A and B are shown apart, each in its own frame.
Chain A
Amino acid sequence: MIKVKSIMTKNVVTVSPSSTVMEAANKIKSKSVSSLVVVDKNKPIAVISERDIIKGVIAKKSKVKDIMSKNFMNISPATTFSAISKSLRGKNIQRFPVVENGDLVGLITETDIVEATRDFTRLHQIVQEIILAIFGLGTAFFLFYFSPLRTVVFGF
């Protein structure tokens, strides 16, 4: 079971609704992130992506509050990974601020989910190989048990 806490980004880059679009763009570039969480008293109220910034530039908007988007879903540290993955692929929500006791404690983005999916796939492959190995040993035992070699191998 993948825990939200283990895959989330803890240092979330935040911005206030009254900041300018250029400030937001600078934060995205200097912190090397793809999105910012717009907070009001440490509560996430919206998100801003690179795309929202481009839209803002085209529409000549200057404040974050004019370009921020509501395409996000607050989750708690107890939310299951499969629920998040489903929202990502089904509802096309790409950003999930993690909220605990009303405070923003982390952020899960599409990148985090993709990386977790990869790790998960790798883990499953290993488990599958272990199952195969056990099965192989069982079958070897089975074959020897019913073969003429039985007395040689088991001594009875």
Chain B
Amino acid sequence: MARVKKVMLTKVPTLKKEAKIEEAAKLLTSTENGCVVIVENGAPVGIVTELDYVRNLTSGKSLKGPVTKIMSSPVNSMTPKTKLDEALKIIDTKRYRKYPVVENNKLVGLVTKNDVVHAMSDEMKFHRNIQNAVLIIFVLFELFVFAFNTIL
């Protein structure tokens, strides 16, 4: 089973705790990840997703001020060594889509639900093909021995 390290993105948009909401909005739209991780001394302390921003927009709150006002915190993180099936379990219980990856208390990547599911599906396909190839060889061998013995 592959681990989070294999599927995580290593280029994560980050902002310091002191950043403004406007900076977060700009970063959200200029990157493709759909979220910005808020860090303090290299460790993630919160996450701002596109949804967080829209939610605050519709509730009529001011979208000025520090980014800590709209971020979700504390943040659930994984380590690069987390196995994909464990990662999927975490995703199913926490029901978030994006998780910072932390190693030695430093942010090293970002893992999304979609990437985990697709990686597991690809891995499954690969294993299935190998397994079936081995099975076919076995079956052919058995048939051959069987036929050989019956004829004689």
- On A, residues with C-beta under 8 Å from B are 22, 25-26, 28-29, 34, 49-51, 53-55, 57-58, 89, 110, 114, 117-118, 120-121, 124-125, 128, 131-132, 135, 138-139, 142, 145-146
Alpha-carbon separation in the docked complex, A120 to B122 (Å): 11
Contact flag A114-B25 (CB < 8 Å), given A25-B54, A139-B142, A145-B146:
no
Task: State which of A53, A89, A118, A135 has its C-beta within 8 Å of the C-beta of B54.
Answer: A53
Sample 7 A-B pairs with CB under 8 A, ordered by A number: A51-B28, A54-B54, A110-B114, A114-B117, A121-B117, A138-B142, A145-B146
Task: Give per-residue flags for B79-99: 1 if the beta carbon is below 8 A from chain A beta carbons, else 0.
Answer: 000000000000000000000
Whether B124 and A54, one on each chain, are in contact in the complex, defined by CB atoms closer than 8 angstroms, is no
Summed over the interface, the residue pairs from A and B with CB atoms below 8 Å come to a total of 77
B117-152 interface (Cβ within 8 A of A)? 117-118, 120-121, 124-125, 128, 131-132, 135, 138-139, 142, 145-146, 149
Alpha-carbon separation in the docked complex, A50 to B58 (Å): 12
- On B, residues with C-beta under 8 Å from A are 22, 25-26, 28-29, 34, 50-51, 53-55, 57-58, 63, 113-114, 117-118, 120-121, 124-125, 128, 131-132, 135, 138-139, 142, 145-146, 149
Q: What's the nearest-Cβ distance from chain A to residue B144, in Å?
A: 11
Whether A131 and B26, one on each chain, are in contact in the complex, defined by CB atoms closer than 8 angstroms, is no
Whether B63 and A57, one on each chain, are in contact in the complex, defined by CB atoms closer than 8 angstroms, is yes
Q: 5 closest Cβ contacts across the A-B interface?
A: A50-B50, A29-B58, A121-B121, A55-B29, A142-B142
In the complex, which residues of chain B have a beta carbon less than 8 angstroms from the beta carbon of A114?
113-114, 117-118
Whether B118 and A89, one on each chain, are in contact in the complex, defined by CB atoms closer than 8 angstroms, is yes
Contact flag A118-B117 (CB < 8 Å), given A34-B51, A53-B57, A124-B128:
yes
Which residue in chain A gives the minimum CB-CB distance to B34? A51
In the complex, which residues of chain B have a beta carbon less than 8 angstroms from the beta carbon of A54?
25, 28-29, 50, 53-54
Instruction: Give the most central of B54, B125, B139: most A CB within 10 Å.
Output: B54
Task: State which of B63, B139, B149 has its C-beta within 8 Å of the C-beta of A146.
Answer: B149
In the complex, given contacts A25-B54, A117-B118, A135-B135, what are 9 additional A-B residue pairs having Cβ atoms less than 8 angstroms apart? A29-B58, A55-B29, A57-B25, A114-B118, A117-B117, A118-B121, A121-B121, A139-B138, A142-B142
Contact flag A117-B54 (CB < 8 Å), given A51-B28, A58-B26, A128-B131:
no
In the complex, which residues of chain A have a beta carbon less than 8 angstroms from the beta carbon of B142?
138-139, 142
